[in-house]
Amino acid sequence: MLASLIKINGYSPFKALMLREYWENRRAIFMTPLVITAITMALVIISMGIFGRAIHINGESYTLGEVIAEMSSRKTGELSDHINHLLLFSSIPVMIGVWFCMVFTALGSLYDERKDNSILFWKSMPVSDFQTILSKILTVTLVIPMVAIGFTLVFQVFLLIIGSFYTIGTEYSAWDLMWSSTNLPLLVLNEMIYMIMYSLWALPIFAWFFLASVIAKRTPLLVATIPVALIALFEGLFFHSDYLVRFIGMRISGAHIMGSEHGYAQNFTKLDPMSTLEILQSAASPAFWMGLAVAAALLTATILLRRRNSL
């Protein structure tokens, strides 16, 4: 199956562009979440007392037996809620790392092809600038986070296995305490929908990063941040407002989703069977569609500038 995915049969320019994005950004797509997941697994093994240490929660020390006994005393619904929240929060380290990958991939994508002169090759191919930009957008806003969710699922299963390991030799059932109280399909569904909606809300920011990348002669990060900082400073000094900072901050943190003002972590605390619907309901906001319109304008400018770019 993998061989068929990476093989191009016949005329398939867009698939070639997506494969190009994979080979150019495989560290961001695959290696970064892999390394973060591996490191987090190692830390969990150490912190869970594999070497006879106690577990520290909120500054207090507990033995594993005490933790398991406390879990078993909870009602089924309460236990399921706590475990699902724990598993959902466990994805945050990977998602934070992937967020940086998304930002810097967007900032460097169109700049790097001019820096290494690969733009000459791709402009000689029968692919349009629209297709090229679209492949890069999909890589940043869809491929990178979706692959990361796969790694979070692996880590969540790992946590359940670790928890089950400590029920061996006790009167408690790993199935009753861990597996039957967990709804992994719902967790994965919520994470996927969250990341899709996050990418759509944050699309104006990523579109600006792509525009900065196609404009920059050097250091796209400075091209992206300096104008924004100057405009925000001008707004604060002369209009005593912070609309631009709030616009960027709310979208880059995902705070619009589910009506939260505190962003990613606050949204995760609201996990329940209806949270998927609540996440999707954020698309009903006029601000959502205004943001997509801004993103469309910025991406159109990016396509036009790339088309006219000369080395």
138-179 pLDDT tens trace: 999 999 999 999 999 999 888 888 777 766 665 666 666 666
Instruction: Judge contact between 258 and 282, C-beta under 8 A.
Output: yes
Q: 249: which residues sit within 8 A by CB, 6+ positions away?
A: 255
Domain annotation covers residue 6:
no
Assigned domain for 5 exists: no
Say if 3 falls within a structural domain.
no
Q: Note whether residue 260 is domain-resident.
A: yes
Instruction: Give the structural domain span for 250.
Output: 13-51+59-308
Tell me if 1 is assigned to some domain. no
- E strand or H helix at 62, and its extent? strand 60-62
Whether 127 and 13 have beta carbons less than 8 Å apart is answered as yes
pLDDT for 185-211, tens place per residue? 888 888 888 899 999 999 999 999 999
Q: Is the pLDDT of residue 37 over 90?
A: yes
How far apart CA 111 and CA 90 sit, in angstroms, is 34
Q: Establish if 8 belongs to a structural domain.
A: no
- Tallying the residues shown for the chain, one arrives at 311
3 state SS of 74? coil
Domain total in the chain: 1
Residue 123 domain flag: yes
Q: Is position 7 within any domain?
A: no
* Alpha-carbon distances, residue 227 vs 153, 213, 230, 233 (angstroms): 39, 14, 5, 10
